[in-house]
Amino acid sequence: MRQLTSPCQMAAVALTALLLGCGGDGAVAARVEGGTGTINVHLTDAPIDLSTVQSVDVTITGVIVYPAEGSMPDPAPGSPISLMTHPETFNLLSLTGGATTLLASGEVPAGSYSRIRLEVSDAVLTYKDGTTQPLKIEPEKVDVPIAFDVGVDEQSQVTLDFDAGASVKVNETSSEKLILRPVVTPVF
């Protein structure tokens, strides 16, 4: 048997073994090639019982995706990626019965992701008689644990359910009666 003596031969064998040992799921190829894909994050709301409420408007100022640990190449492995940097207001009650709206979209490095963060800056409840009630937001940043992959030159779809009925709470111990504690879950 012929022995490997040159450093280049040894490096080639080591690289081949590393690539073969990582499995055949395609994730390694996406990281090695440095390709990108597109992620589309949609928003919906499960049915609720707010019979005297006309709308629950929330202003979202940020949508950030977080790569799964060890899934991205250098220079910034695991660094969060912002998909939305400007405020947009959504009426959660218009997103019931299977309706969705595009919340954010952007090109991201191909690979695996582990969570999405929503940053909420404002919320207002409007009653059917036209009166409004501002909602105190606690907390303003909501992390949604959701594992998903983005393939090279592919579009991935993610839908989040921002449950208005579970999120709007009455706070009797404060001067601000209504608060918004965002309840956001992934839709599979």
Q: Where are the beta strands (DSSP E) in 45-177?
A: 53-67, 81-84, 88-91, 101-109, 111-127, 132-134, 136-137, 141-150, 155-162, 168-170
Which of 4-13, 51-60, 174-183 tops mean pLDDT?
Answer: 51-60
pTM of the model: 0.73
Q: Tell how strand 111-127 and strand 132-134 pair up.
A: antiparallel
Q: Is 75 helix (H, G, I), strand (E, B) or coil?
A: coil
Taking only the tens place, the pLDDT of each residue in 66-112 is: 998 876 655 455 689 999 878 999 999 999 888 999 999 999 999 89
Cα–Cα distance for residue pair 98/100, rounded to 1 Å: 6
